[in-house]
Amino acid sequence: MGETPIFSTKAHVFHIDPQTKRSWIPASSAAVNVNFYYDPSRNLYRIISVEGQKAVINSTVTPNMTFTKTSQKFGQWSDIRANTVYGLGFSSEPELNKFIEKFQEVKEATRSSQQHKAHHNGNISVSSSLSARGESPRLSSELHNDMMLTGSLLPHQRSQSLSGLQAKHLTDSPKYATKEKQMSSIALPQSSAEAQLRYENDRLKLALAQSSTNAKKWEIELQTLKSNNTRLTNALQESTANVEEWKRQLQSLKDENNKMKHKIVELEAIHGNPEAIEELEKNYIIGNQIANH
């Protein structure tokens, strides 16, 4: 439809099983938009829901419709024109309550509109009847004769109808119809509860699948962190080993440097350098002190 919806919500759509009238058949594969539309050309309110190219709900609201809340998240209504019962499963109870409020509001608007239309048509009918009586007495007389003829035929027609009803008494009796109606009214809430349980079960399965997927992702991330930690530990150990090696090499260079300095001092002392001779004497005294301690 090209019109803008006056109300929109999301829900899982179900149809009553046309064969058994006792179980629900999913009409949508997931939660879909359920919209209220107003048709000003016909002065009608419609409930429309489309999934892909398929209309899963096409219901014209009438004053006699009743929306029944069968659980916290599920409700249903019967559409005689569509010859089916629609069921809606919502994600939360507040969403269901909002839909119920809008359904009631639209139903009352439809009732008021039809009452106004009936009152208007009644006035037109009365004025037309009075005009016809004034213009054509002969037509009024013919109408009276037709009514008399119809009245004389009524007893005969009624007796034939009674005979037909007696022949179908076993299957069409009021008691039998009442029993069937009671069985249907009892079955519908049970099927609604079953549909609600299936809906909740599907949601739990989806949540479980998502949890499993998330657990796998977390496991992969954990393995990645462990691998990175191992690499960092190895790098740290390698760096520590390198530092120790550098320290050893540095100490070796220091020792070699001291030896070279000592040799230079010895050579200078041999050549009679007084400072070198004094340095050798100090080193000799210090060496003896260290040895004695």
Across the chain, the runs of DSSP E, i.e. the strands, are 7-16, 24-26, 32-39, 44-51, 54-60, 67-69, 74-79, 84-89
Which pLDDT value is given to residue 32?
96
Which pLDDT value is given to residue 191?
59
| Domain chopping of the chain, boundaries | 7-117, 244-292
Q: What is the pLDDT of residues 191-206, one digit of tens each?
A: 567 777 877 787 788 7
Q: pTM, whole model, 2 decimals? A: 0.44
Q: What is the pLDDT of residues 134-188, one digit of tens each?
A: 444 443 444 444 444 334 333 333 333 333 333 333 344 444 444 444 434 434 4
Which pLDDT value is given to residue 223?
85
The CATH topology of domain 7-117 is PH-domain like (2.30.29)
What is the average per-residue pLDDT within 237-266?
89
Which pLDDT value is given to residue 47?
96
Sequence-distant contacts of 59-68: CB under 8 A, at least 24 apart: 59/86, 61/103, 61/106, 61/107, 61/110, 62/107, 62/110, 63/107, 63/110, 63/111, 63/114, 65/103, 65/107, 67/99, 67/100, 67/103, 67/104
Lowest-confidence range among 51-60, 105-114, 118-127, 208-217? 118-127
Q: How far apart are CA 12 and CA 89, in angstroms?
A: 5
Q: Residue 84 — very low, low, confident or very high, per pLDDT cuts 50/70/90?
A: very high
DSSP strand pairing (74-79 vs 54-60): unpaired
Which pLDDT value is given to residue 8?
96
List C-alpha distances in Å: 63 to 23, 75, 202. 26, 18, 35
Which pLDDT value is given to residue 250?
93
Query: From the CB of residue 9, how many other CB atoms can be counted at a distance below 10 Å?
Result: 20
Which pLDDT value is given to residue 2?
57
pLDDT for 114 beyond 60:
yes
Q: What is the mean pLDDT of the chain?
A: 77
Which pLDDT value is given to residue 85?
96
Lowest-confidence range among 7-21, 158-172, 232-246? 158-172
Element (H, E) at 82: none
Residues of the chain with pLDDT > 70, as a percent, come to: 72
